[in-house]
């Protein structure tokens, strides 16, 4: 028998996150490791009357691509790639890596080129229905320093798939976050203070978005796009960025007039600097996010979960989200997390908004 939590998660993804309708074409992108969840999602899409298109790609193909791809593979899109995106109505992505370090030896310049090339496709996909989630694998469990069983409990708890009615619970979170957004309405300036951190930025005229499981599963954050030239000060991040098979740890950034003018890292600094030089927009902020999911307490080296931790904030370098009013353009979008739970404050227009990771409003 299938784990009922997998069935709950599949129903949530299909009927709540992407709200699949009859005769819509919805792709399901994953690898064979996630077969139980893919099967459940496929069944629910059929029940909704949609046309499911399953794309099960072995994880090893990504490494093979970076090793043996020619210049045109990294710099141009195939007509089929573009046609598929044009024709589909939505997509459900299920991360299920058997080895999260498989790309650690790949030339970061190739990864940067690939990010630039696929940016137009990502932008088109984000205008359609979409959601990403994660299926528990041994690799993710090892990163999180958990047994696979404990990690499964963690994932299904974070996605609320262990509840009798996950959709009801996500809607309740949405109402809670809406109250926070109402308090932030018409705000001009946000200031973040903590150990080796004092950073302020303008959010004047920008919109905060209520993120409650429609695109990320799990979710639990409110976010906006800071005014591009406004960030001033420094920030020391508490957790590593886990990207492209690497960990970039001990990141410290200094901003002037919105731009990163100093950047350092205790681990993989060269990779950090390569990504920051990807394009002109990579050194400017595209997002300010505030984590609200207090059910996620542990950092697991996976941004889908880590940026939602209640009591943290995250700032993304690079591409803005248009719905926030952000205007920054970049092929990069890197979230970096500051943990405020053990000493930190967030001020909004000079008023205390959060202290030691807890909202005071």
pLDDT in tens, 262-283: 999 999 999 999 999 989 999 9
Cα–Cα distance for residue pair 325/206, rounded to 1 Å: 5
**Res 246: pLDDT:** 86
Give the predicted TM-score (pTM) of the model: 0.89
Q: Per residue in 222-262, pLDDT tens?
A: 999 999 999 999 999 999 998 877 899 999 999 999 999 99
HSE at residue 56, side-chain half, CA atoms within 13 A, is 13
**Could you say which residues of the chain have pLDDT below 50?**
none
Helix (H, G, I), strand (E, B) or coil at 334: strand
Cα–Cα distance for residue pair 351/146, rounded to 1 Å: 39
**Res 63: pLDDT:** 92
Structure-token pair, residue 273:
């600097």
Cα–Cα distance for residue pair 203/68, rounded to 1 Å: 44
**Res 245: pLDDT:** 78
**Res 163: pLDDT:** 95
What is the domain partition of the chain in residue ranges? 4-164, 173-359
Helix (H, G, I), strand (E, B) or coil at 273: helix
**Res 104: pLDDT:** 86
Write the CA distances from 30 to 1, 9, 140, integer angstroms: 22, 15, 15
Give the list of residues 6+ apart from residue 126 with CB closer than 8 angstroms, or none. none
Closest CA to 118 of 65, 77, 62, 66: 77
CATH topology of domain 4-164: Thermophilic metalloprotease-like (3.40.1830)
**Res 342: pLDDT:** 87
**Res 177: pLDDT:** 96
Strand order in the sheet with 209-211: 209-211, 221-224, 285-291, 312-318, 333-339
**Res 1: pLDDT:** 62
Give the list of residues 6+ apart from residue 123 with CB closer than 8 angstroms, or none. none
């Amino acid at each position: 028998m299938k784990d009922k939590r997998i069935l709950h998660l599949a129903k949530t993804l299909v009927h709540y996150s992407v709200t699949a309708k009859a005769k819509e074409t919805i792709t399901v992108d994953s690898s064979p490791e996630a077969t139980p969840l893919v099967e459940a999602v496929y069944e629910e899409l059929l029940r909704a009357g949609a046309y499911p298109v399953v794309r099960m790609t072995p994880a090893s193909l990504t490494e093979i691509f970076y090793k043996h791809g020619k210049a045109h593979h990294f710099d141009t899109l195939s007509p089929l790639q573009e046609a598929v995106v044009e024709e589909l109505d939505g997509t459900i992505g299920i991360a299920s890596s058997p080895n999260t370090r498989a790309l650690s030896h790949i030339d970061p310049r190739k990864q940067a080129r690939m990010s630039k090339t696929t940016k137009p496709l990502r932008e088109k996909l984000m205008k359609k229905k979409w959601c990403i989630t994660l299926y528990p694998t041994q690799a993710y469990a090892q990163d999180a320093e958990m047994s696979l069983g404990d990690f499964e409990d963690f994932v299904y708890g974070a996605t609320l798939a262990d509840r009798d009615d996950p959709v009801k619970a996500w809607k309740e979170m949405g109402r809670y976050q809406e109250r926070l957004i109402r308090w932030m309405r018409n705000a001009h300036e946000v200031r973040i203070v903590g150990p080796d951190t004092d950073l302020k930025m303008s959010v004047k005229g920008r919109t905060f978005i209520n993120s409650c499981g429609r695109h990320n599963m799990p979710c639990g954050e409110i976010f906006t796009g800071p005014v591009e030239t406004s960030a001033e000060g420094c920030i020391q991040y508490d957790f590593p960025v886990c990207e492209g098979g690497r960990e970039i740890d001990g990141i410290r950034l200094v901003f002037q007039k919105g731009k990163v003018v100093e950047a350092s890292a205790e681990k993989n600094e060269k990779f950090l600097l390569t990504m920051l030089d990807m394009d002109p927009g990579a050194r400017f902020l595209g997002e300010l996010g505030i984590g609200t999911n207090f059910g996620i307490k542990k950092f697991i080296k996976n941004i889908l979960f880590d940026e939602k931790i209640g009591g943290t904030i995250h700032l993304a370098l690079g591409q803005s989200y248009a719905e926030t009013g952000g205007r920054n353009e970049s092929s990069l979008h890197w979230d970096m997390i500051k943990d405020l739970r053990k000493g930190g404050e967030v001020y909004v227009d000079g008023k205390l908004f959060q202290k030691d990771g807890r909202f005071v409003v």
